[in-house]
Amino acid sequence: MFSKLKCPIILVLSFIVSISGCGYRTKSDLLGHIDTVTLSRINNETQEYGLEEDMTAVLKREFSRHWGDGSDSLFSANIRMYELLPIALSQANQPEQYRLIINMSFIFEDLKRNRILRNEKNYEKMYDFYVVSGRGKPPETLKEAKQNLIEETAKDIVSGIVEEW
């Protein structure tokens, strides 16, 4: 009895496995002809020293997961604002939680077809973090939080470009 059921079950499972990945895409059809990207120097209008260098390094890494370095497309960006705000205070009026905010504009150009594919004038990303223990998340230093904000920002920007329909 078990051997009679084994074959149909295997066929059904094979069918389900074979169709389950059909809808997933890593790159949109709009970008199928693009194999490479160039990152122009990121401008930093803020007072945060080195922010543009850190952002460039992480963006390069994220773009390299999808494209090589070359001249099919061009990504250029401008960091317009970087701000640290206290958002939760202790009873002694000392900051326990902060919010980092970055605001950027960026353009992603298709140089093969001479088109602007993404022109974001007011991209903003926030990252909240605690500097004290016992709040559900481990405390972070400003340096760690800044790196996490940069990582999340770069991943968000690149995945938004790559997966855009």
State the pairing for strand pair 95-110/68-89. antiparallel
Which of the 8 DSSP states describes residue 62? H
Place of tokens 């059921």: 5
Cα 64 from Cα 152, distance rounded (Å):
16
- Predicted confidence at residue 29, as pLDDT, reads 65
- Predicted confidence at residue 80, as pLDDT, reads 98
Is 5 part of a structural domain of the chain? no
Q: Are 146 and 125 in contact (CB under 8 A)?
A: no
pTM over 0.75: yes
Is 8 part of a structural domain of the chain? no
- Predicted confidence at residue 9, as pLDDT, reads 54
In whole angstroms, how far apart are CA 27 and each of 37, 112, 126, 160?
14, 17, 26, 10
Q: Are 47 and 57 in contact (CB under 8 A)?
A: no
Show pLDDT as tens, one digit a residue, over the chain (165 residues): 555 555 555 544 454 444 444 444 444 567 889 999 999 999 999 999 999 999 999 999 999 999 999 999 999 999 999 999 999 999 999 999 999 999 999 999 999 999 999 999 999 999 999 999 988 889 999 999 999 999 999 999 999 999 875
Domain of residue 104 covers: 25-162
- Predicted confidence at residue 157, as pLDDT, reads 97
Is 10 part of a structural domain of the chain? no
- Predicted confidence at residue 8, as pLDDT, reads 53
- Predicted confidence at residue 48, as pLDDT, reads 96
Is 2 part of a structural domain of the chain? no
- Predicted confidence at residue 4, as pLDDT, reads 57
Which of the 8 DSSP states describes residue 31? G
- Predicted confidence at residue 20, as pLDDT, reads 46
Amino acid (1-letter code) at residue 2: F
- Predicted confidence at residue 113, as pLDDT, reads 95
Is 80 part of a structural domain of the chain? yes
Amino acid (1-letter code) at residue 138: P
Amino acid (1-letter code) at residue 21: G
CATH number, position 62: 3.40.50.10610
Amino acid (1-letter code) at residue 142: L
State the pairing for strand pair 43-44/68-89. parallel
Question: How many domains does the chain fold into?
Answer: 1
Cα 98 from Cα 142, distance rounded (Å):
9
